Homo-oligomer: A and B are copies of this chain.
């Protein structure tokens, strides 16, 4: 029986002394040169590009992974290479796990009833078929979109829990457009005067309560953009037990130093996600890609770890 995600996360944060999540957003046109050179010289563009993507992700994990607790593959970047891309995704997930890292599938999925359940099967569970069970991607957690409401999140949460996996629900994202919907102020009901994101935070807290884990963290976390640090304390108030996944550091302008309230329930309460700032660190620094990525991941690790 797999231990609950929250406990595995808390243990691994301590064991690796890191709260850093390595984003894997491979753009086939911007892969590390050695990865492109390793691709097979024969085969379809999809086959060759997927091989290069896989090599790039493995090299990035080799370089920056030791400073991280998890990887976060962006599913869009793999899906655009079709079935070959999905196979590269599965191989990358397996490689990261073999290196002792957790895997958070950045899928931002949301749908209703059986479709929501199917996404949980695809990412963290398995699917019964007349030919035997088919294992899903094998991620430890995935990101989910809550627009469709509680009854759409419940099959996702149920599927994740059955697999000992976690879910990070979008609460307030790191882009300027978060103001268009997530920041709207609600007029009606008990929560009058709250924003949509505060309502979403309350839904996340309800879905995750009470945390039945030894760490005290919930298996239902929240995606909280690091570009709006003024909200982090309020998020923590609304979701005292949720692990926060904090994207937007580096390339999007967020700073680790602004995120201290996230870590109130312990170091695993705030996971700092960075993608381009690590993978593309060599573009500004002049060092080889792997060395630059390792240095940037270690810099972030130290910055986050020193906050508690």
Q: Which residues of A contact B (CB under 8 A)?
A: 25, 27-29, 31, 36, 39, 45-46, 48-49, 52, 74, 76-77, 79-87, 90, 106, 108-116, 118-119, 121-123, 127-137, 145-153, 170, 173-182, 184-189, 192-193, 196, 199-200, 203
Contacts and interface: CB of A to CB of B under 8 A. Distances in A.
A61 to B, nearest CB: 19
Most buried by B among A29, A83, A85, A170: A83
A106 to B, nearest CB: 8
A133 B118 CA distance: 31
A111 B76 CA distance: 9
Given A36-B130, A196-B184, A175 B82 contact: no
Given A145-B145, A182-B149, A129 B49 contact: yes
Contact of A203 (B87, B180, B186): B180
Contacts of A185: 186-188
B49 A134 contact: yes
Given A79-B118, A145-B145, 8 more contacts: A28-B127, A76-B121, A82-B137, A145-B147, A147-B182, A153-B177, A185-B188, A186-B187
Given A173-B112, A196-B181, A83 B76 contact: no
A45 B133 CA distance: 7
17 contacts: A28-B131, A36-B130, A39-B131, A46-B135, A76-B118, A80-B121, A81-B129, A82-B134, A83-B83, A85-B122, A145-B147, A147-B181, A148-B177, A149-B175, A149-B178, A149-B181, A149-B182
Contact of A130 (B28, B74, B119, B123): B28
B111 A109 contact: no
Most buried by B among A45, A74, A178, A185: A45
Most buried by B among A108, A188, A193, A196: A108
B36 A76 contact: no
Most buried by B among A84, A114, A193: A114
B45 A132 contact: yes
Contacts of A106: 111, 115
B149 A114 contact: no
A148 B128 contact: no
Contacts of A77: 115, 118
A118 B80 contact: yes
Nearest to A74: B115
A240 to B, nearest CB: 21
